[in-house]
Amino acid sequence: MNKLMEIVSRSNSIAITSHIDPDGDSIGSILGLGLALKQKYKNIKILIRDSLPSRYEFLPGSELIKKYDDIEEQKFDLLFVLDCGDEKRIGSNEILKNSKTIVNIDHHISNTKFGDINIIDASSSSTCEMVFSFIKDLNLLINKEVATCIYTGIVTDSGNFMYDSATEKTHLIASELLKTNLNKGRIIYNLYQRKSINSLKFIGYSLTNMKIALDGRLAIFKVTLDLLNEFNVSYDNIEGLVSYGRDIEGIDISVVIREQENGKVKLSFRSKDDDVDVRALAQLFNGGGHKKASGATLTASLAEAESMVIEKSRKFVRW
């Protein structure tokens, strides 16, 4: 840690980034670390490839987030990559290639350790939980603003403290964060209670048209771009769809098969049983993630993807 403090102190330019299609943990961790570093260091940039989903706009410092395309040169003395299992998911080759020292902080067991320094803890509920300790190790303050960001990542990545990864330690950290007097109600409101009517109608439609395969063990949702257009929603609005399938009794695996603008297909897997490892399943599609939440991207039609998913899931469900 002394070595890291030294690297941070002597870096004239520092950037913090995360993965494409950012979620609560990625946004919470880059903002939490960014705001904390700003207490002591200058020239901190917070960057991602995509636009910030609107439900995270309430987070302190969200206005500091820039897109790679918005800056002149993606070149830094020190680059923190947070919550990102592999280098492809950063969404920029340039930033990785041009930056001098890469610090990779992540909780994905599948992390490819692409950094110069790799801090990986697969037992952690979230990258935010790791960033909490990291900020403390750097002797920076977890103030209310930082705590709001970190709490957001912990809540979202632990499935509201529901997953196995939400340990005693996670709850103790949450307790410490709450002591900063952060506005928990506002976090929950922004994350979960400002859905659009259209997005819920879309969920209703998707549930009505859900396909059940493998003798009631696999729930499949197919999402086309046309359908999103028809309901006037973006995928970002309906992120929770896959969990509805998982929550059905008897279902071992829920999958959303989604058409993307780049012509590729995105898979999102969820499971709930310790013996159903959807990370291993996602790896068959060159993806990754966690045992009970994983994903992959492939080049195929939705129908092709669906039959591949059914075939490959066969070995993973509990018969």
Examine residue 156 and tell whether it contacts ligand 5GP (CB under 6 A).
no
- Using CB under 6 A as the binding criterion, the count of chain residues that bind ligand 5GP stands at 13
Examine residue 293 and tell whether it contacts ligand 5GP (CB under 6 A).
yes
**Smallest gap from residue 106 Cβ to ligand 5GP (A):** 9
Structure tokens at 180: 């900063």
Among 25, 145, 239, 252, binds Mn ion (CB under 5 A): 25
The option from ligand 5GP, Mn ion, none interacting with 32 (CB < 5 to 8 A, set by class) reads none
The option from ligand 5GP, Mn ion, none interacting with 165 (CB < 5 to 8 A, set by class) reads none
The option from ligand 5GP, Mn ion, none interacting with 277 (CB < 5 to 8 A, set by class) reads none
Helix axes 144-157, 24-38, angle to 10 degrees: 160
Q: Across the strands, what pairs with 211? A: 220
Structure tokens at 57: 């706009």
Examine residue 245 and tell whether it contacts ligand 5GP (CB under 6 A).
no
- Give Cβ neighbours of residue 232 (< 8 Å, ≥ 6 apart): 198
The 3-state DSSP class for residue 223 equals strand
Instruction: Give the separation between CA 56 and CA 190, rounded to whole angstroms.
Output: 7
CB closer to Mn ion out of 245 and 289: 289
The option from Mn ion, ligand 5GP, none interacting with 295 (CB < 5 to 8 A, set by class) reads ligand 5GP
Residue 43's alpha-carbon distances to 5, 79, 82, in angstroms, are 16, 12, 18
The option from ligand 5GP, Mn ion, none interacting with 25 (CB < 5 to 8 A, set by class) reads Mn ion
**Smallest gap from residue 138 Cβ to ligand 5GP (A):** 25
Region for 67 from its dihedrals, namely left if φ exceeds 0, alpha if ψ lies in -120 to 50, beta otherwise: beta
Structure tokens at 189: 């409101």
CB closer to Mn ion out of 83 and 86: 83
Q: Which stretch binds Mn ion (CB under 5 A): 80-88, 95-103, 279-287, 310-318?
A: 80-88
Examine residue 306 and tell whether it contacts ligand 5GP (CB under 6 A).
no
CB closer to Mn ion out of 111 and 313: 111
Name which of 210, 231, 221 is nearest 267 in CA terms. 221
**Smallest gap from residue 105 Cβ to Mn ion (A):** 10
Examine residue 297 and tell whether it contacts ligand 5GP (CB under 6 A).
yes
Query: Tokens 């709450």 label which residue?
Result: 178
**Side chain identity, residue 55:** R
Binding mask 76-95 for ligand 5GP (x = CB under 6 A): ---------xx---------
Examine residue 129 and tell whether it contacts Mn ion (CB under 5 A).
no
Structure tokens at 241: 């769809």
CA angle 122, 126, 132 (to 5 degrees): 110
The option from Mn ion, ligand 5GP, none interacting with 296 (CB < 5 to 8 A, set by class) reads ligand 5GP
Residues for the chain: how many in total? 319
Helix (H) or strand (E) holding 44: strand 44-48
Contact residues for ligand 5GP, defined by CB under 6 A: 85-86, 108, 268, 287-290, 293-297
